[in-house]
Amino acid sequence: MPEAIGLVLLLPFLGFLINALFGNRLSKAASAWVACGAVGLAFVAAVVMALTPNWPNGAALTYDWTLSGSWKISFGLLADPLSAWMCLIITGVGFLIHVYSIGYMSHEPDFRRYFAYLNLFVTAMLLLVTSDNFVGLLIGWANVGLASFLLIGFYTERPSAVAAARKAIVINTIGDVGLILGIFTIITNTGSLTYREALTSGNIASGDWRNWAALFLFIACAAKSAQIPLQTWLPDAMEGPTPVSALIHAATMVTAGVYLVVRAHTIFGASEWAAWFIPIIGALTAFYAATCALAQTDLKRVLAYSTISQLGYMFMAAGVGAYEASMFHLLTHAFFKALLFLSAGLVIHALAGEQDMRNMGGLRREGATRFAAISFIIGALAISGIPIFSGFFSKEAILGSFPLLGGDYVLNASQQAAGVPVWFLALIGWVGVVTAFITAFYMFRAYFLTFEGKTRFEGHPHANPQSMTVPVGVLAVLTTVGGFLAFEGGWNTLETWFAPIKDEVAQNGPNVWRSIETNRFDVVGLVIGVGAGVAGIALAYIIYMARPVRVKSTATALATMADSPKPVLVENPKMYAAKATQSRRAAEIGYIDRERSNPGPGVNAFLRSGLNTFLLYGWGFDLLYNLLIVWPGKGTASLVAHWFDRGVEQAVDSGLGGSTAGASKAARRTETGFVRNYALGILLGAVAILIYVAVIGLQR
Amino acid sequence: MTSITFTLIVSAIIFALGTMGVLLRRNPLVQFMSIELMLNAVNLAFISFSGTLGTSEGQIFVLMVLTVAAAEAVVGLAIIVALFRRRRRIDVDDIHAMEG
Amino acid sequence: MEQVILVILGVLAVASAVGVVFMPNAVYSAMMLLLNLVSLATLFLLLHAQFMFAAQLLIYAGAILVLFLFVVTLLNPEGENVFKDSKQLQKAGAFTGGIILGIILVGSLIYAFTGGPQFDFAAAQPSPAQPYAYGSVEAFGMGLFTQFLLPFELTALVLLVALIGAVVLGKRR
């Protein structure tokens, strides 16, 4: 029943309205029920919709928005395999995270605001994926950015959270501008903005515009999905509550870029540039973020960089036309990354806000966090690509799309047109393999630091409520079994699922779709892929468990850090430790004051410091952007404020203002207040017009 | 000279006189009378054209003008009476609260 | 004969209009207005607008002018001489403006009816013969209650509003 798509979109919106408008009058329980119920029912509706997607008959619900004669703007919702796929992920994982939030946010005074934002996000994200045209996509695109902004800056009293939110929305706005430019390019060259007409237009067959459209759209994708060079906002976005990080910054919103590439794949597939730059950026980002994750000490930031890295994987796959593999990895990533974040959330919740892995350790032995340890290790195994876990299947599907060992690899139409050589794709694939190795390493480094080894935290972890553990359990099951949808060379349910979309491409445009089915079963490839993961885990075990390196707790580490970037870092670490035990909220504030309110080391410290700092601060991208954009911008602004504004102000004050005052003083004299004077004015005006008319008449 | 020419000229002259009356007199009552003059001049023009064209639309317009004139006189005179009640004097030049 | 009466009435109307404007006493002005209205009404009759003749006499001369006279006698305003107005600029402007307006209107009328291409009034007559004689009450009524029914009904509303307005303004507070 494709019409259920309307309910999918409407229910979370109603939840948002209720929580936003009447939140103050609702009890916490009622607010949570409304929010979770809305998303849960939306999931049911999405399942109903997904049972019978009616592609290629087009929009399931179309509403004529503006009518003017024969010209009209329609707004429609599209029920097709792709949107159904995304709807299921968003509402399904979203529902679990909503439920989880009840427990995680229970101490929060702004409980209702939180749920209102969360429902707003779900609404916007669903609009993004269900719209049948680019304008609806843009509205959803901008609104998920807004919801993300609101939720990153949820702790409004924390300066670093506000700064992170600002950073996120600024970078996302760059992406929005790219999307708008892309939409302009598309409507100019195809004459339509609905997917059905624009993406199957005959103009796609040729023209330079396809390259530009793909480039502009990819700017949007890069900003939303945190790809190089617009990736710097996502690690900072961890300022938001952990469920938000799980839902928005891991499972759903950041995958919007992948969705767009797959949705607009006729344009991306037809572009010769895209055949080059999407795999390059994807692989580069995957590798970059994985290396950065190596050095992070904050558990959530490890996961954030890991998310960036996995998104890079998805783009790598989408860049070579392996859209099925890309969407497959999107699904499994939603499962295991949400699982990892929520497990991290269990730990953070149990430790009253502590996020620094240096202050954890040995948590597996604690009763309160043993469950978190199990779920975390399931997620870590999945992301490392260990067989039977879901990540294995999708990661193999992606790596299998690349000719790791050369061989008889069939280039698709756009790669042939762009002249992409096989060795280039092999290189990209090997970057993916190396990344898989690093991924397994840093993920188990995080696991060992957090859950094994010596206990480094103070106090006693307290138990998590069931509303938090049950969703984690469900996600753990999904992470374990969610991958049996497709296996290269074996079976492929995804192909049947996405067949209507694939056929649409085959009819209208270059065939760039690379089904998982086309990847042959390759023992060597399998060994390489799994071997990378196993090797990473083994190395992590050797370094952190077998011969454990000495990990200091933050207090000691900070006190002894030789090249501490900012004096604030060594300022009374005991104070923060004391704060950490006070309350979770205060601890988060304290933690943030300590670490994130400084954007990184200065240039000198950065140059003097070693590889660790280089990786810790994300290869210095923040510093680079500060040097190139932020500081020059601020300097120019203050210069303008000091010199230009003041001068103009004076000129305006004495010149414009003075003359205006003088003129109005003179003009005031004409206002005598006598009615007869005004009437005379009317008469004189009428006479003047009459004279003019008479003169014109005489001249004719 | 046909009759329409003559009546239109009469109408034009009365209209001009009416405007002068509005502008010259300080007594609002006489200003109103002058406005009635102008309205009547227009009525005369309407009737002249209506008669020449042989259709009754002009006359119907005159009826509308009559109605509006009556309404205007009623409200205007009520305002004047209210003013008189407050100031004991009626002179439009006494009222210049709008002076800039 | 008709032409003579027409001219006499026209001159009477103009002369009485002059009287309205320049008579110092408001009562005289009102009487002059009465003369003007009556002569205009008679002009209407000469122009075959019988119904409007009656309406003009009844509504203007009968109702509106009586109202004017009533207010004038009630308020008893002092006389004024327009030529001794203290506002020289206003006086000069009003005289010149009014005279120029008259000259332009009259001049353009004369020009329109004597020089240049003439408008053919006979050809402008509506082609289907009117069922009722022009100026008759039937013809007038047909127009008023068919084509102009809505405006006619709206005039009733205007009158009602004026009535309420007068009551509100006249109320003592």
Q: Are strands A71-78 and A59-68 parallel, antiparallel or unpaired?
A: antiparallel
State residue A639's pLDDT score. 87
Rounded Cα gap, residues C120 and C117, in angstroms = 9
B100–A669 CB contact, under 8 Å: yes
Strand partners for C100 = none
Q: Across residues A150-173, what is the average pLDDT?
A: 89
Smallest CA–CA distance from C111 into chain A, residue: A698
Instruction: Quote the pLDDT of residue A147.
Output: 92
Q: In the structure encoding, which two tokens stand for residue A428, read together?
A: 């990209």
Considering only CA atoms, which of A308, A232, A171 is closest in space to residue A618? A232
Cβ-defined contact of C7 to B6 (cutoff 8 Å): yes
What's the confidence (pLDDT) of residue A575?
Answer: 40
Q: What share of chain A is helix, strand, coil (3-state, %, to 5)?
A: 75, 5, 20
Please identify which residue in the block is written with the tokens 């190596």.
A294
ipTM of the complex: 0.90
Share of chain A above pLDDT 90, in %: 24
Q: Between the CA of residue C135 and those of B11, B55, C51, C149, C153, what are the distances in Å?
A: 20, 8, 7, 18, 22
Show residues of chain B in contact with A673, CB under 8 Å: 95-100
CA atoms of A697 and B6, how far apart (whole Å): 22
Mutation pick from B1, B6, B10, B31 vs chain C, by most beta carbons of C within 10 Å, is B10
Q: What pLDDT, on a 0 to 100 scale, did the predictor assign at position A216?
A: 93
The model's pLDDT over A304-326, given as tens digits with 9 standing for 90+, comes to 999 999 999 999 988 888 888 89
**Which of B19, B26, B98 minimises the CB distance to A671?**
B98
pLDDT tier at A528 (50, 70, 90 boundaries)? confident
Q: Which of C2, C6, C105 sits opposite B16 (nearest CB)?
A: C105
Q: Which residues of chain C have pLDDT under 50?
A: none
Work out the mean pLDDT of chain B and round it to a whole number. Answer: 87
Q: Output helix, strand, coil percentages for chain B, rounded to the nearest 5.
A: 80, 0, 20
**CA distances for C127 relative to B4, B53, B58, C48, C134, angstroms:** 21, 11, 18, 20, 14
Distance from CA of B28 to the nearest CA of A (A): 10
* DSSP per-residue letters across A210-260: HHHHHHHHHHHHHHHTT-TTS-THHHHGGGS-HHHHHIIIIISGGGHHHHH
Phi, psi for residue B2 in degrees, rounded to 5 = -80, 170
Pick from C71, C105, C155: CB nearest B29: C71
| Paired tokens of A512 | 């760039």
Percent of chain A with pLDDT over 70: 86
Per DSSP, C63 falls in state: I
Q: Tens of pLDDT along A418-432?
A: 788 888 888 888 999
Q: Cis before residue A229, ω within 30 degrees of 0?
A: yes
Amino acid, res. B1: M
Is pLDDT above 50 for A411?
yes
Asked if the model's pLDDT at residue A644 lies above 60, the reply is yes
pLDDT confidence band for A133 (50 / 70 / 90): confident
How far is the C-alpha of A92 from the C-alpha of A478, rounded, in Å? 11
d(CA A218, CA A276): 12
Nearest to B14 among C17, C56, C99 (CB): C17
If you average pLDDT over residues A58-67, what whole number do you get? Answer: 70
The pLDDT of A119-140, averaged and rounded, is 91
Contact A135, A151 (CB under 8 A): no
The DSSP secondary-structure symbol of A653 reads I
CB A100 within 8 A of CB A94: no
Phi and psi for A151 in degrees, rounded to 5? -85, -35
Rounded Cα gap, residues C126 and C123, in angstroms: 8
Mean pLDDT on A53-69: 66
**Residue-level pLDDT at A598:** 41
Measured from the Cβ of residue A187, the count of other Cβ atoms closer than 10 Å reads 14
| Helix, coil or strand: residue C127 | coil
**Span C26-59, pLDDT tens digits:** 899 999 999 999 999 999 988 888 888 988 899 8
| Residues in B 14-73 with any Cβ partner in C closer than 8 A | 14-21, 23-27, 29-30, 32-34, 36-37, 40, 43-44, 47-48, 50-57, 59-60, 62-64, 66-73
Q: For A39, phi and psi rounded to 5 degrees?
A: -70, -35
* Distance (Å) of CA B41 to CA A53, B17, C21, C37, C92: 77, 10, 14, 10, 24
Instruction: Quickly state the pLDDT bin for A439 (edges 50, 70, 90).
Output: very high
pLDDT tens for residues A362-398?
888 887 888 888 999 999 999 998 888 888 888 888 8
Residue A592 · residue A160 · CB < 8 Å:
yes
Q: For residue range A195-247, list pLDDT tens digits in order.
A: 877 887 777 777 888 889 999 999 999 999 989 888 888 888 888 888 998 88
Residue A510's pLDDT is: 64
C-alpha span between A263 and A473 (Å, rounded):
32
Structure tokens at A575: 């104070």
Determine the Cα–Cα distance for residues C19 and C26; give it in Å rounded to an integer: 11
DSSP letter (8 states) at residue A380: H
* A171 membership: H or E segment, kind and range: helix A159-190
Residue-wise pLDDT for A475-499, tens only, equals 999 999 888 887 776 777 887 788 7
- Taking contacts as CB-CB distances below 8 angstroms, the residues of chain C near B66 are 55-56, 59-60
Of A171-185, A518-532, C60-74, least confident by mean pLDDT is A518-532
Contact present, A323 and A353 (Cβ < 8 Å) = no
A683–B19: do the CB atoms touch at under 8 Å?
A: yes
Q: Which residue of B lies nearest to C92 if distances are taken between CA atoms?
A: B24
Residue C165 corresponds to which tokens in the numbers above?
């307005």
Supply φ then ψ for residue A77, to 5 degrees: -110, 140
Please report the pLDDT score of residue A506 as a whole number.
64
Counting as low any pLDDT under 70, the low residues of chain B are 1, 100
Q: Which helix (H) or strand (E) holds A306?
A: helix A299-319
Range name among A84-98, A271-285, A625-639, B19-33 with the lowest pLDDT average? A625-639
- Provide the token pair at A59: 């929009």
Handedness of CA A626, A632, A636, A639 (dihedral sign): positive
SS3 B70: helix
pTM: 0.67
d(CA A391, CA A382): 4
Which residue has 């004991």 as its token pair? B88
> For all residues of chain A together, what is the average pLDDT?
82
CB contact under 8 A, C64 and B79: no
Per the CB < 8 A criterion, the answer to whether A27 and A97 are in contact is no
Query: Is the CB of residue B34 less than 8 Å from the CB of residue B18?
Result: yes
A679 neighbourhood in chain B, CB within 8 Å = 22-23
Q: At residue A134, does pLDDT exceed 60?
A: yes
Residues facing A62 on adjacent strands = A76
The backbone torsions φ and ψ at residue A76, rounded to the nearest 5 degrees and listed phi first, read -130, 160
Q: How confident is the model at residue A560 (pLDDT cuts 50, 70, 90)?
A: very low
pLDDT band for A25, please (50, 70, 90 cuts).
confident
